[in-house]
């Protein structure tokens, strides 16, 4: 019998894992010894967080990130073919969403290996559900272009789609959040709605939806925060 792949949830930051990770997910994660992770150091840190006695030296880790070749990914499934369960871990939140782990999941399905999702936090979904914006029709766009002209052109495109009734979700690296907000306030129509969901599940969490006009009157400091933007 082949092993299964568990999609292991990870906290979005902070150490209060009991507040955001269900006990079933913690129990299953503690039992796994083979992992495919985005970054080994943070994966080890998380396992020690949920279980101070976790046998790190007995665990095996393979790294799956944007640099991993497709030919390497299939080898990561070897434990499953040998009857062992495998845990797939993102850097934060749920694997497979804005995460390279989707590539492993696809190959697992094609190989006949059962994939089991475990409940846990997803900043993207949690932002959408708490935004008050359209959760029936939406698009996650990931990261927008870094250079200002391309970024602002993309924002105009997203706003056009938002006006058609599709909430447009996107993210940015923490140190570029403020420039992203500046572009949004400069480019988008004053009547458009913007949700800024920052530091979800952390003590510093703030989630608010307002018009572009109102955000311009109350510009938040988003530097070095984990932010999800939703435009409609």
Question: For the residues of 61-87, what is the DSSP string, one character each?
Answer: EEE-STT--HHHHGGGGHHHHTT--EE
Distance from C-alpha of 184 to C-alpha of 13, rounded to nearest angstrom: 26
Give ranges for CATH 3.40.1010.10 in the chain: 5-117
Cα–Cα dist 177/185, whole Å: 12
Give the whole-angstrom CA distance, residue 174 versus residue 44: 23
Q: Which CATH architecture has domain 5-117?
A: 3-Layer(aba) Sandwich (3.40)
What's the pLDDT at 104? Answer: 95
Q: Whose CA is closest to 141, among 38, 230, 9, 10? A: 230
Residues spanned by CATH 3.30.950.10 within the chain?
A: 123-231
Decide: helix, strand or coil at residue 136.
Answer: coil
Per-position pLDDT tens, the chain of length 232 = 789 999 999 999 877 898 899 999 999 999 999 999 999 999 999 999 999 999 999 999 999 988 888 888 889 999 999 999 999 999 999 999 888 999 999 999 999 999 999 999 999 999 999 999 999 999 999 999 999 899 999 999 999 999 999 999 999 999 999 999 999 999 999 999 999 999 999 999 999 999 999 999 999 999 999 999 999 9
Distance CA 167, CA 158 (A): 9
Going by CATH, does the domain composed of 123-231 fall within 3.30.950.10? Answer: yes
113 phi, psi to nearest 5 deg? -95, 135
Look at residue 74 in the predicted model and tell me its pLDDT.
87
Confidence (pTM)? 0.90
Distance CA 212, CA 217 (A): 9
Q: Which residues contact 23 (CB under 8 A, 6 or more apart)?
A: none
Sheet holding 5-8, edge to edge: 60-63, 34-37, 86-89, 5-8, 115-117
What burial letters (b/e) apply to 162-179, b meaning 16+ CB within 10 Å?
beeebbbbbbbeeebbbe
Residue 120: alpha-carbon gap to chain centroid: 11
């Amino acid at each position: 019998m082949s092993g299964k792949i568990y999609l292991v949830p990870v906290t979005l930051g902070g150490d209060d894992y009991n507040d955001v990770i269900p006990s079933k997910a913690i129990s299953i994660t503690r039992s796994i010894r083979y992992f495919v992770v985005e970054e080994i150091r943070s994966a080890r840190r998380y396992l020690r967080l949920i279980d101070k006695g976790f046998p790190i030296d007995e665990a095996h880790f393979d790294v799956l990130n944007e640099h991993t070749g497709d030919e390497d990914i299939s080898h990561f499934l070897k434990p499953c073919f040998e009857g062992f369960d495998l845990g797939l871990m993102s850097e934060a939140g749920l694997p497979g969403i804005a995460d390279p782990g989707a590539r492993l999941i696809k190959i697992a399905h094609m190989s006949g290996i059962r994939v089991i999702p475990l409940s846990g936090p997803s900043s993207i979904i949690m932002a959408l559900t708490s935004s008050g914006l359209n959760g029936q029709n939406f698009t996650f766009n990931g990261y927008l272009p870094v250079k200002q002209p391309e970024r602002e052109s993309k924002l105009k495109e997203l706003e056009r789609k938002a006006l058609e009734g599709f909430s447009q979700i996107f993210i940015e690296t923490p140190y570029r959040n403020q420039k992203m907000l500046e572009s949004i306030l400069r480019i988008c129509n004053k009547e458009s709605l913007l949700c800024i969901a920052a530091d979800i599940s952390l003590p510093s969490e703030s989630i608010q939806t307002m018009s572009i006009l109102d955000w311009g009157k109350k510009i938040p400091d988003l530097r070095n925060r984990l932010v999800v933007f939703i435009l409609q």
